[in-house]
Structure 1
Amino acid sequence: MDFRKLDNVSVNCVIFGLGPEGLYVLLQKRTLNMFRKEYPVIDDWVITGERAFTNKTLEESANSIFKSITNLNEFNRVQFHTYGNTSRIKTDKDLLWTKSKGLKAQSMTIAYYFVQPKKNIQLTDDDFKWFPVKALPELGFDHKKIIDDAQEDLKQKIMVEPIIFDLISHKFTLNELQIAFESVLNIEIDNRNFRKKVLKKIYIVPLNETRKGNAKKPSKLYVFSRDVYNKVTEKDLIINI
């Protein structure tokens, strides 16, 4: 098997997780200390990634990155942008990190994002940590822009594609679905109008089940039927917010 890697092409993955507190992104710790005054100490965070293998497709590389972190076997990925600007690596920290890894200063990154309920991803590596997208730490390279671009693409896609259902449990309440939209779009949605519009969608199927929550009355559960969705001949917005 060919394990060679391309030294100037990488695949980076933005991993979004949705929890009761809102939308989060999973970051990896980046540290390097040369113990010499002329070199900066690196202690920040980056999105996870790896150099592309010569014997793997870009999609296979993205899948292997996600699986190695989450141990999940079922997921959807979205390729949203390619970054190749010559000024991507320009700070002293980024140049030092790149040199320490034997990489070229000018590189190209193909970026993907994955979305999951945050509770589905059990972290076993201390190098990884969840951060709210509204309160990101210091990031290396151009990874703040990559996260912003990924979130903007996600905002567009959840309106016209059923990707929102990857962010919530298979069985969900209407309140959980509303919170998912509000968290990604960073808006407040009128509860009554939202429920009316959701219940008109034939691919959001009510179950004969309820879930107990903080409210006195148990909440009715629903599922998203991809089979029904795929049979809808004229696609409209997922929810007319």
Structure 2
Amino acid sequence: MDFRKLDNVSVNCVIFGLGSNGLYVLLQKRTLNMFREDLPTIDDWVITGERAFISKTLEESANIIFKRITSLNEFNRIQFHTYGNTSTPKTDKDLLWIRSHGLKVQSMTIAYYFIQPKERIHLSSDEFKWFPLKSLPELGFDHHKIINDAQEDLKKKIMVEPVIFDLISHKFTLNELQIAFESVLNIEIDNRNFRKKVLKKIYVIPLNETKKGKAKKPSKLYVFSRDVYDKVTEKDLIINI
């Protein structure tokens, strides 16, 4: 593999994970101390990314980043925006970080997001940490905007494409599916109405299995069938909320 990288094109990856308390985003620690009074100390967080490989496509570069962090081989990758920062002002911290890493101030960033159940991703390094989407720490660069843009794109996608099923387990309850929609859209959904609409979707397949939990009555399990979904000729909204 050719490990050379483009000096003015980077790939950034927003990694969303659905947990019991809602939607989370995986961030990477950014630290730098030059031990000079005239230079700022950097101690914040960023979404993960790096310069694109010369010998790889942008998608392949994004896959390399995601696999390195999560060790997962199967995932859904969505490109949602390209950012050109030639006119974007940088903070002193951002400028110091760029120069200390030999990067160019003028560059282009292609942004992707990945969605997974949070429990599937096992972190092997302390430099990565999950944060609730509603309570993010101080972020470097324009990463607040990139995360917000990714979330807005995800909100649109889950209404018309079956990406919501990437956020939950292969076998799921209708309650878990509802929580996934509520977490992404940041709304409350009527339970009875939601169940009625989901059960009309022929690609949501009931199983002869139940999931035991705290409730007295075990919850029925379902799976999403990609084969059935692909055969549906007239696709409407995934869920009419």
1:183-233: CA deviation from partner (whole Å, max 9, x where unpaired): 000000000000000000000000000001121100000000000000000
Correspondence 1:65 to 2:65: yes
- Where does the alignment leave 5 or more consecutive residues of structure 1 unmatched? none
Quote how far apart the aligned CAs of 1:86 are. Answer: 2.0
TM-score normalized by structure 2?
0.99
8 Å Cα contact 1:116-1:167 kept in structure 2: yes
Could you tell me which residue of structure 2 aligns to residue 132 of structure 1? 132
Tell me the residue number matched to 1:20: 20
- Which residue of the partner structure matches residue 206 of structure 1? 206
Which stretches of structure 1, 4 residues or longer, exceed 3 Å deviation after superposition? Answer: none
Contact 1:30 1:44 in 2 (8 A): yes
CA distance in 1 between partners of 2:89 and 2:17 (Å): 28
- Partners of 2:115 and 2:238 in 1: CA distance: 17
1:93 alignment partner AA? K
TM-score by length of 1: 0.99
Letter in 2 for 1:175: N
Aligned pairs (5 A) from 1:41-190: 41-88=41-88, 90-190=90-190
Q: Which amino acid is the alignment partner of residue 190 of structure 1?
A: D
Number of residue pairs the alignment of both structures matches: 241
Secondary structure, counterpart of 1:43 in structure 2: strand
Following the alignment from structure 2 to structure 1, what is the Cα–Cα distance between the partners of residues 4 and 212?
Answer: 52
Does structure 2 retain, via aligned residues, the 8 Å contact 1:88–1:141?
Answer: no
Note the alpha carbon deviations across 1:29-57, whole angstroms, 9 max, x for none: 00000000000000000000010111110
Deviation at residue 125 of structure 1 after TM alignment: 0.4
Whether contact under 8 Å (1:78, 1:114) holds in the other structure is: yes
Matches of 2:187 and 2:68, distance apart in 1: 33
- Is contact 1:89–1:95 with CA below 8 Å preserved after alignment? no
CA contact (8 A) 1:12 1:48 kept: yes
1:98-150 superposed Cα distances (whole Å, 9 cap, x missing partner): 00000011111000000000000000100000001100000000000000000
CA distance in 2, matches of 1:2, 1:199: 50
8 A contact 1:89–1:141 mirrored in 2: no
CA distance in structure 1 between the partners assigned to 2:141 and 2:115 by the alignment: 22
Q: Deviations over 1:40-94 (max 9, x none)?
A: 0000000000101111100000000000000000001000000003244510000
Could you tell me which amino acid in structure 2 is paired with residue 219 of structure 1?
Answer: S
Task: Extract unaligned runs of 5+ from structure 2.
Answer: none
CA contact (8 A) 1:8 1:104 kept: yes
**Distance across 2 between alignment mates of 1:214 and 1:109:** 46
Distance 2:106 2:43 in 1: 22
Counterpart CA distance in 2 for 1:231 and 1:24 is: 33
Q: Secondary structure at the match of 1:196?
A: helix
